[in-house]
Structure 1
Amino acid sequence: MAHLLGAEHLHLEFPTKVVFDDVTIGIAEGDRIGIVGRNGDGKSTLMKLIAGRMQPDDGQVTVRRGTTIGMLDQADTLDPDLTVGAAIVGDRPEHEWAGDPRIRDVIGGLVADLPWDARVGDLSGGQQRRVALAALLIDDWDIVLLDEPTNHLDIEGVHWLADHLNARWGKNDGALVVVTHDRWFLDAVCTATWEVHDRILEPFEGGYAAYVLQRVERDRQAAVVEQKRQNLMRKELAWLRRGAPARTAKPKFRIEAANQLIANEPPVRNAIELQRMAVARLGKDVVDLEGAGVSYGEREVLSGVTWRIAPGERTGILGVNGAGKSTLLRLIAGEQEPTAGRVKHGKTVRIAQLTQQLDELAEHLDEKVFEVFARIKRTYVADGSEMTPSQLLEQLGFTSAQLQTPVKDLSGGQKRRLQLLLILLDEPNVLILDEPTNDLDTDMLAAMEDLLDSWPGTLLVVSHDRYLLERITDQQYAVLDGKLRHLPGGVDEYLALRRQQPDAQRGSSPMAAVAAATTGTAAPAAPAATTTISGAERRNLEKEMQSIERRLGRLRNELAAADAKLAAADQSDFAALAALGEARQAHADEADELELRWLEIGEVLEG
């Protein structure tokens, strides 16, 4: 794979902080890289350095001659006086862009619901972001850099983007670097992960699931002192191995290693105990919707919704923007009366909502964090143990110094965490989360999920973050055509239902009509190339795979024996230690080659 870009010995510092110190990286054709890390550690800054939009204080970025780089920056803005069409396709003749399958695919996938002649300045921030992403993706680039591309995309949009990026280049062509907090998206498109932390960049193989596994193994082997963080990542790994069927397509030897690592980890939630506690706090009646409907004039938003919400129920709600999810939540919260049917609330129900507007913090903006909690005398029970508000703050990533910070000076992610904590300390027994992932990095999302795992109440979640929905809820419903539909098959069933709906992937705007003019629908992502093999070839490959698995089993034993010899050897006999180390490395190298061959055979057999 040809080298496209290299960055050597990068050093960058701001007046109060060193961001990077001696970072060296490379990007080659075929790379699909996800960047993760805490907010503020330099993920977006690294992207700007790679793109040449920012210069390092020391070191250099070298780009191969002729390599083109396209970037979607969070700070990118479009000319507000342009029309949507002009912002995306510029002055290209209509027959040229309308006849291009890629451009039709991008328009159908991202902006089919927007009027082609609408003024960009009249669009919402989320709509402008989608226009900017479409304008980037219609062009050919050797390297595509995307900073939070899934913001303002619903679940269907995120799936479309993943499919588009996977089909955009051949296996060993082009390069993608993406910063996102959407962990499902990282797994769907990335084959490598870079973690930015503590002024360095640490590379890992694979997407988010593989990154979690390697990070836990690294932390365990190094005996790091961050025990709380390590335990949290072990719990995250337990979810990845036990709770997500899509992630089981891993080599057998990897599955065995992961299962050994989490052998003593309990399930992420004790469903029976949580339900028992929820019933004790709520009684048997929570909220019952019986034939409920809502109409605005002649427009019917919801109709015939019957749903008995149970104590301890953990439900995710899916639906496109404008489908009626917010109306459904207002009915449940008692903020809106139905125009048909009825909504009945249990006598002991206390409902709280984590909204996108941070309303809970409005009266505390000029107070310091510790002052807000000084008036709260309550404690909180998590995982069977009693915790003080300060302990909860620590669990959600607040340092002692940040307790002295005025609320108005906190970052968006810190305000989001503080909002959740204030709501939980108010001890509701029904919690509604409306897009709770905004402004949170992957570590803080995991911490929030860990906290909610032990929360003994009824949980209703609306989110476009598929990973979060599958992680913290036990079932999903969809609002489709004004009806509420249970989804036994989860998000996959919802996506299948949406594909069956007429015009599910396009709007009724003039632009959508042009995008669909040639094919009758938005152009689907190109299918991956498949390889046809004969029955004899398949049997031979299956035999080779079985042989590799047996050899890998023996190599694991040999590596364990080599480790034991190294531990027992005379540590002052450097020659003997070197010989033992070389022998062990030979076994490790052979195992790596066999694992690579195992994966290659698996791809052929699956194709």
Structure 2
Amino acid sequence: MANLANVERVTVHTGITAVLDDISLGVNTGDRIGVVGANGGGKSTLLGVLARTREIDSGRVTHAGGLRIATVAQDDLLDPAATVREIVLGERAEHDWAGQAWIRDVLAGLLGDHQAAAVGGLDARVGTMSGGERRRVALAAALVTEADLLLLDEPTNHLDVEGVAWLADHLVRTWARPDRGLVVVTHDRWFLDAVVTQTWEVVAGAVSAYDGGYAAYILARAERDRIAAVTAERRNNLLRKELAWLRRGAPARTSKPKFRLDAASALIENEPPPRDSVELMRFATARLGKDVIDLHDASLAFGDLPILKRVTWQLAPGERIGLVGVNGAGKSTVLRVLDGSQPLDSGKRKVGSTVRIGVVSQEVRELEALAGAKVIEAIEAVRASTVLDGKPVSASSLAKRLGFPGPRQQARVGDLSGGERRRLQILRVLLDEPNVLLLDEPTNDLDIDTLTALEDLLDGWAGTLVVVSHDRYLLERLTDKQLALLGDGRLRDLPGGVDQYLDLRSAAPTGASPSIRPAATTATAPGPNPAQVREARKEVARIEKQLQRLAEKADRIHADMAAQASDHTAMTALSLALREVDGQVAELEEAWLAAAEIAG
């Protein structure tokens, strides 16, 4: 293990604000680091500092000799006149890159169907491509380089669920090597848990480091706030609720969270499920009646692409549906069919008499007419208060919950950032009190805290919900059922969720639309006897003591690393020691999970 990039006591100001304030940290070979924090909090600035493309006001940034860096920025910096070949492959001769399996893997994974669909394939001009296609080209250009350090800023933006899954798998396969490092800024929580082994949180100019992905980060925040007792009760409730979801839901069963599992159980032992689905269904039925939106024998096509082919679909009161599919499959079009703005070629759309539809579109153009108004004026122009979870909520309180504190409510709409404009759009839609809510990529431009707050709001919202999103975590967290558009004009039920969708896509031959296979069944094993339960509980207690000792050892190593950040030799030795501790913790956590299953 060796140090790739080191930041020593660096400060960066934007105006009079210290975006980064006297921070010291380093990236070593073998590191896969996720960077999280509020919009505008300094995450992209930190990447620029690591790459030495962002000027600093004080401190020092050092690179290992001959360090090769590849970056993908949030902004699209591709030359529209350039071809895919020029951007991704550069001067490489075809016999050179075609003989490299890892380059072919990147081209197939990111540009396969998309490249074939583009006029000219590798010779297609970037200026003719959609945002998602351009993002794939930029990623491919970075991934085919033989870099030592890869810096990615929101790489999942514009990617569909399948693209995000491919990217996560590729990064784990190719960037888990001991001679490479990865730092990625992202708000995609599933991606964090799938890819990273450390999480850096950028808050108020400081950077705090946590072992593990999103699940570990959430627990660490909850414990930090509980111990320090400096955060409002509302914030602690949100974190406990999020942690309860992580421990109960599929992400917790399929990942290896790097945290004290006994502490997690203690924090959530009295936490109810995120929402009471039965009660919400009862409220929704009372508000909507039996009829919501029905499509009868509906057909719609654009040229040779069938969006819907004789589809009959009845949305029920209180249903929560996630809609997935590749970019261009027609997901947004289906939402427009549901809200009535897209006419059908044939068939009928029937809407219940009490239905009130709210739409959060990918665009936020409806705010352009309000550019000169204050945020609170734009909110209260819709409604001064509403009811959520059976309780009245003022427009101002709702704005605070979605990231507009008092002073920020006085800002002009035209001065808001992209993330703030998205928040304001969602607020206005919710205040209009719809009972059918259609969300089209609602996670765009939102940071993790805002996403958590939005999910919390919608947990208590009684109505029918249809969500189009590439954010796999949000789909699994917010919806109870997923449907897929696979390009054949039919809506496919996904009892196995997003995993089943990805299996279908990977199993289908090019151009084919596979049939849904029933989810595999699992035989039920006999339950443990009382003696086995007692032994398992002893094992759990023993492992928890070992985890406690390892946690204390890791804390001491982290303290030493902070004290010796400028000593590269010491940092290498300490990093090796920490890596050894992490390996022991991972093994113990696996054993704890196995014993806890028996102990109950």
Map of 1:528 onto structure 2: none
Cα gap change, 1:145/1:251 in structure 2, threshold over 3 Å: closer, same or farther? closer
Map of 1:416 onto structure 2: 422
Q: Is the 8 A contact 1:5 1:26 kept in 2?
A: yes
Map of 1:82 onto structure 2: 82
Map of 2:35 onto structure 1: 35
Map of 2:347 onto structure 1: 341
Map of 2:492 onto structure 1: 485
Greater displacement, 458-467 / 167-176: 167-176
Q: Per the alignment, in what secondary structure is the counterpart of residue 122 of structure 2?
A: coil
Map of 1:372 onto structure 2: 378
Structure 2 distance, partners of 1:591, 1:122, is 50
Instruction: Tell me by how many angstroms 1:396 deviates.
Output: 0.7
Matched, 1:497 2:487: no
Cα gap change, 1:365/1:95 in structure 2, threshold over 3 Å: closer, same or farther? same
Q: Is the 8 A contact 1:37 1:197 kept in 2?
A: yes
Q: Per the alignment, in what secondary structure is the counterpart of residue 273 of structure 2?
A: coil
Q: Per the alignment, in what secondary structure is the counterpart of residue 116 of structure 1?
A: helix
Map of 1:72 onto structure 2: 72
Q: Is the 8 A contact 1:545 1:601 kept in 2?
A: no
Please tell me the residue identity of whatever aligns with 1:321: N
Structure 2 distance, partners of 1:486, 1:453, is 23
1:363 to 360, 369, 379: 369
Q: Is the 8 A contact 2:135 2:159 kept in 1?
A: no
Please tell me the residue identity of whatever aligns with 2:102: R
Please tell me the residue identity of whatever aligns with 2:89: V
Measured against aligned partners, the alpha-carbon deviations of 1:529-566 in whole angstroms (never above 9, x if no partner) come to xxxxxxxxxxxxxxx9999745335568999xxxxxxx
Structure 2 distance, partners of 1:59, 1:251, is 34
Cα gap change, 1:124/1:594 in structure 2, threshold over 3 Å: closer, same or farther? closer
Structure 1 distance, partners of 2:347, 2:583, is 64
Give the unaligned 5+ runs of structure 1. 506-543, 560-589
Structure 2 distance, partners of 1:59, 1:308, is 61
Map of 2:517 onto structure 1: none
Measured against aligned partners, the alpha-carbon deviations of 1:161-216 in whole angstroms (never above 9, x if no partner) come to 11111111454331100001111111110000000001100000000111101111
Please list, as runs of the form range in 1=range in 2, the aligned pairs for 1:164-313 lying within 5 A after superposition: 164-247=170-253, 249-250=255-256, 254-296=260-302, 299-313=305-319
Map of 2:588 onto structure 1: 598
Structure 1 distance, partners of 2:511, 2:26, is 40
Instruction: Tell me by how many angstroms 1:469 deviates.
Output: 0.7
Q: Is the 8 A contact 1:555 1:591 kept in 2?
A: no
Q: Is the 8 A contact 1:253 1:549 kept in 2?
A: no
Please tell me the residue identity of whatever aligns with 2:585: E
Structure 2 distance, partners of 1:250, 1:41, is 28
Instruction: Tell me by how many angstroms 1:79 deviates.
Output: 2.5
Matched, 1:453 2:459: yes
Q: Is the 8 A contact 2:107 2:140 kept in 1?
A: yes
Instruction: Tell me by how many angstroms 1:49 deviates.
Output: 0.3
Structure 2 distance, partners of 1:36, 1:463, is 20
Structure 1 distance, partners of 2:293, 2:219, is 40
Instruction: Tell me by how many angstroms 1:137 deviates.
Output: 0.7
Structure 2 distance, partners of 1:40, 1:554, is 41
Matched, 1:551 2:542: yes
Please tell me the residue identity of whatever aligns with 2:510: D
Give the unaligned 5+ runs of structure 2. 116-120, 513-534, 551-579, 594-600
Structure 1 distance, partners of 2:226, 2:256, is 21
Matched, 1:94 2:100: no
Instruction: Tell me by how many angstroms 1:377 deviates.
Output: 4.7
Structure 2 distance, partners of 1:164, 1:372, is 44
Structure 1 distance, partners of 2:22, 2:379, is 41
Map of 2:15 onto structure 1: 15
Cα gap change, 1:327/1:591 in structure 2, threshold over 3 Å: closer, same or farther? closer
Cα gap change, 1:40/1:291 in structure 2, threshold over 3 Å: closer, same or farther? same
Instruction: Tell me by how many angstroms 1:415 deviates.
Output: 0.9
TM-score, with structure 2 as normaliser: 0.84
Q: Per the alignment, in what secondary structure is the counterpart of residue 108 of structure 1?
A: helix
Instruction: Tell me by how many angstroms 1:336 deviates.
Output: 2.8
Please tell me the residue identity of whatever aligns with 1:401: P
Map of 1:123 onto structure 2: 129
Greater displacement, 290-299 / 163-172: 290-299
> CA RMSD of the aligned region, Å?
2.8
Measured against aligned partners, the alpha-carbon deviations of 1:402-449 in whole angstroms (never above 9, x if no partner) come to 121111111111111111111111111101000001110111111111
Structure 2 distance, partners of 1:428, 1:282, is 10
Q: Is the 8 A contact 1:552 1:591 kept in 2?
A: no
Alignment coverage as a number of residue pairs: 537
Please tell me the residue identity of whatever aligns with 1:361: L
Greater displacement, 490-499 / 108-117: 108-117
Structure 2 distance, partners of 1:56, 1:251, is 35
Q: Is the 8 A contact 2:317 2:464 kept in 1?
A: yes
Cα gap change, 1:310/1:600 in structure 2, threshold over 3 Å: closer, same or farther? closer
The structure with the larger Rg is 1
Q: Per the alignment, in what secondary structure is the counterpart of residue 433 of structure 2?
A: coil
Map of 2:63 onto structure 1: 63
Structure 2 distance, partners of 1:381, 1:452, is 12
Q: Per the alignment, in what secondary structure is the counterpart of residue 455 of structure 1?
A: coil
Q: Is the 8 A contact 1:548 1:594 kept in 2?
A: no
Cα gap change, 1:334/1:593 in structure 2, threshold over 3 Å: closer, same or farther? closer
Structure 2 distance, partners of 1:244, 1:49, is 36
Instruction: Tell me by how many angstroms 1:302 deviates.
Output: 1.4
Please list, as runs of the form range in 1=range in 2, the aligned pairs for 1:452-531 lying within 5 A after superposition: 452-480=458-486, 481-503=488-510
Cα gap change, 1:201/1:87 in structure 2, threshold over 3 Å: closer, same or farther? same
Q: Is the 8 A contact 2:126 2:134 kept in 1?
A: yes
Structure 2 distance, partners of 1:168, 1:555, is 32
Q: Per the alignment, in what secondary structure is the counterpart of residue 9 of structure 2?
A: strand
Please tell me the residue identity of whatever aligns with 1:43: K
Instruction: Tell me by how many angstroms 1:329 deviates.
Output: 1.6
Measured against aligned partners, the alpha-carbon deviations of 1:45-72 in whole angstroms (never above 9, x if no partner) come to 0000000101211111111112211111
Please tell me the residue identity of whatever aligns with 2:8: E
Instruction: Tell me by how many angstroms 1:250 deviates.
Output: 4.4
Cα gap change, 1:275/1:64 in structure 2, threshold over 3 Å: closer, same or farther? same
Q: Per the alignment, in what secondary structure is the counterpart of residue 322 of structure 2?
A: strand
Q: Is the 8 A contact 1:498 1:504 kept in 2?
A: no
Measured against aligned partners, the alpha-carbon deviations of 1:556-597 in whole angstroms (never above 9, x if no partner) come to 8999xxxxxxxxxxxxxxxxxxxxxxxxxxxxxx99896355
Instruction: Tell me by how many angstroms 1:374 deviates.
Output: 4.2
Structure 2 distance, partners of 1:242, 1:395, is 25
Greater displacement, 420-429 / 366-375: 366-375
Please tell me the residue identity of whatever aligns with 2:273: P
Q: Per the alignment, in what secondary structure is the counterpart of residue 338 of structure 1?
A: coil
Instruction: Tell me by how many angstroms 1:399 deviates.
Output: 1.7
Q: Is the 8 A contact 1:476 1:491 kept in 2?
A: yes
Greater displacement, 96-105 / 289-298: 289-298
Instruction: Tell me by how many angstroms 1:600 deviates.
Output: 8.4
